[in-house]
Structure 1
Amino acid sequence: MAAKKPILVSLFSGCGGLDLGFECAGFKRVWANDFDSDAQAIFSKNLGPIDGRDIRTVPSSEIPACEVLTAGFPCQPFSNAGNRKGVNDSRGMLYQECLRIIADKMPKVILFENVRGLLSTKYIDGRKLIDVIKSDLESMNDVGYNVTYELVNASDYGVPQNRYRLILVGIRKDLGITFEFPEKVQDKSNLTLRHILDIPEDAPNQVDWELSPQAMAMVEQIPEGGSWKNIPYENLAPRFQRIRDDMQRYHAPNFYRRFSRDEINGTITAAAQPENCGIIHPVHNRRYTIREIARIQSFPDDFVFIDDTLKNIVAMYKVIGNAVPVKLGEAMATAIMQQVFRKKKVK
């Protein structure tokens, strides 16, 4: 007789990377929510129904009981790439909506995913926000959770991308279990771009967002594995010349990074701008296609996106860049399954 699948509720679900990872690990999702219409469109296209309301308007009584609750609450307020307003940004307090629902449902396990900037974000009283969240969970409803968190690199769990994210896992104290992070991948040789960009011709979503003429003029001068630093000074726009003149002041930025085929790609971002992330193909003078960034985020080729208009194409870069990599989600979900629901520890 097949084991019963543990019940999952997903908050701030995005386009479904974390949900798909939990699904692959044997969990059954009964409810998901995200306010972003582009993310909703992709989630429903691939995974099923999703509640599109602002979570602040959803009574906890309308959310099903669950054994596991996941949440990737908005990371922009804490991101190094953003304005770092933290809790002073209204989105920065949305983690409290997660706590509201957890307090009502008291699932066996909770998992939060966020950017590394959350670790240094201060709460309104001066404490670190991560310590506030941990403390609130540990004392919740006089039962509480055993909470552990780590800054993880997605490539350590089979994702072809060096993407650092904070993972927090809480297990209800009455279960007597403290989560242990799964063993890291030792051999990453198959995670380099050479192994990721060999995409079958019939795979969907092989379209790219064209570079601006200014960006193209830069990209054409950057060799495989290089960056803007490879462009002759006299060919740089005045803005970049000023930065080159005082690299120390600007913290030696690595604009227009073009990873080589023998490297693991850097973080795919929602903005998909070549100035800020490694979005340039190693040998072709263009952005990665939608399918290529989906692969770098470890989405399978049968997970489909929308690409019939430029507006949709730009939106797809956003939702994929915001997603939790599928294999990272699956690795954490598998560890939770083994440690909590199958009572077999991960070595």
Structure 2
Amino acid sequence: MRVIKDVQTMFKLVSLFSGCGGMDLGFHQYGYNIVFANDIDNDAVKTYRKNLGDIVQKDIKEIHEDEIPDCDVLTAGFPCQPFSSAGNRKGVADERGTLFHECIRIIKKKKPQAVVFENVRGILSIKNDDGNKLIHSIERMMDDVGYYVEYKLVKASDYGVPQNRYRVLIVGLRKDLNKRFVFPKPIKSDKLTLRHTLNNLKPDIPNSEHWKLSPQSQEIVPYIKEGGSWKDIPYDKLPERMKKIRDNIKKYKSPNFYRRYSWDEICGTITAAATPENCGILHPTEDRRYTVREIARIQSFPDDFVFEAGSIAGMYKIIGNAVPPRLAYAIAGQISEILEGKVNVEEEFAEQLAIL
């Protein structure tokens, strides 16, 4: 894993809800010194330790502020399920929604120069019980503890990630610094297609196994052409539930099940569930899911980052939940340059990101 800068001269990072380390890897690659990381998931923790080092496996509600070192930057990918448009959207009514307050508790005590939150796009639309938008509540709470906040729905492929993955990034800078965060400009690249991303995969590379399809999927997937979807499957071969949807497709808002991206397309969002029905997890020309290593590449993890979990489904889950390291790298660089008072940072990012 390439480190661009000397970690002895860079900022200290505290990472909460660290997952398997996608966000942390991007910051590490830019040269940040990770002084504390935390997650509760067994598979995520096992992989993090394998690749990045120490991590505290503990419920954040049980971590006292004094257990956490001082830091310059704090990141937190607090649980996104309650805010997901694909989930139950309970939002703050869900107990997991209150975990954001644990982040505020720690930020208030540690007072880092910068804070980065990552979440799904649904966080922009979900409302609290009082009818106010959750994102505005987050802004208000961050303002109350002394931070100017900027947030944006970003597309990972704008920052060198070979995946059209949309996520909300919320970045706060401490008010006494008299600085505001500006998101880096998109970086153009013609090397993000599946053809480019999955080339030169050696058979002995770690994590080359794939999660076998269900019997139902094994039967219908061969009918789907490269670049196609469930619409390629003959009607008489469809499961009964899908026949009902096909019969009244407008009523069901024209879903695009079993999407199989072509070699010359950028892959869609890799999800934690890795279900071929609901995400583009199918290989362009082979009748199978992507291997663990293939989806790791689509998420921009380097080949020397090895995933370990209790099951292969667990590996797909932690990769799907991760922040793409290249996206994290771009944000880490922008924060660093802003805190250091440098200008014209976008050109430097484009050059540095190209060599990752």
Q: TM-score range by the shorter chain?
A: over 0.9
User: How big is each residue's C-alpha offset from its partner over 1:59-82, in whole Å with a ceiling of 9 and x where there is no partner?
Assistant: 111111111000000001111221
- 3-state secondary structure, aligned to 1:220: helix
Provide the rounded CA distance (Å) in 1 between the counterparts of 2:311 and 2:54.
Answer: 20
Number of the residue aligned with 1:197: 198
Amino acid at match of 1:62: E
Q: Deviations over 1:272-295 (max 9, x none)?
A: 000110000000000000000000
Is 1:5 paired with 2:10? yes
Residue 325, structure 1, aligned to residue 327, structure 2: no
Q: How far has the Cα of 1:250 moved from its partner?
A: 1.1
Give how far 1:186 is off: 2.1
Residues in 2 aligned to 1:5 and 1:226: alpha-carbon distance in whole angstroms? 46
Whole-angstrom CA distance in 1 between matches of 2:233 and 2:317: 28
C-alpha contact 1:149 1:168 (8 A) present in aligned 2: yes
Name whichever of 241-250 and 293-302 sits farther off.
241-250
The runs of at least 4 consecutive aligned structure 1 residues that moved more than 2 Å come to 341-347
Note the residue ranges of structure 2 that are not aligned, 5 or more in a row: 347-356
From 36, 59, 66, the counterpart of 1:61: 66
Q: Unpaired segments of 5 or more residues in structure 1? A: none
CA contact (8 A) 1:338 1:345 kept: no
Residues 84-233 of structure 1: matches in 2 within 5 Å?
84-140=89-145, 144-187=146-189, 189-198=190-199, 199-233=201-235
Structure 1 counterpart SS, 2:148: strand
Q: What CA distance in whole angstroms lies between the structure 1 residues aligned with 2:37 and 2:152?
A: 25
Q: Which residue of 2 aligns with 1:338?
A: 337
Q: Retained in 1: the 8 A contact 2:43–2:308?
A: no
SS at match of 2:18: coil
Q: State the 1:235 CA deviation.
A: 1.5
Q: What amino acid is the match of 1:191?
A: L
Q: Larger deviation: 262-271 or 117-126? A: 117-126
User: Which residues in structure 2 correspond to 1:268-283 (within 5 Å)?
Assistant: 268-283=270-285
Question: Normalising to structure 1: TM-score of the pair?
Answer: 0.96
Counterpart-to-counterpart distance in 1, 2:138 and 2:272: 26
Letter in 1 for 2:55: I
Query: Matched residues, percent identical?
Result: 58
- Measure how far apart 1:54 and its partner are: 0.3
Partner of 1:23: 28
1:79 aligned onto 2:84:
yes
For normalisation by structure 2, the TM-score amounts to 0.93
Residue of structure 2 equivalent to 1:254: 256
**Aligned partner letter, 2:313:** V
In the aligned structure 1, how far is the partner of 2:95 from the partner of 2:300?
31
C-alpha contact 1:339 1:345 (8 A) present in aligned 2: no
Q: How many residues align?
A: 340
Q: How does 1:281-292 map to 2 (within 5 A)?
A: 281-292=283-294
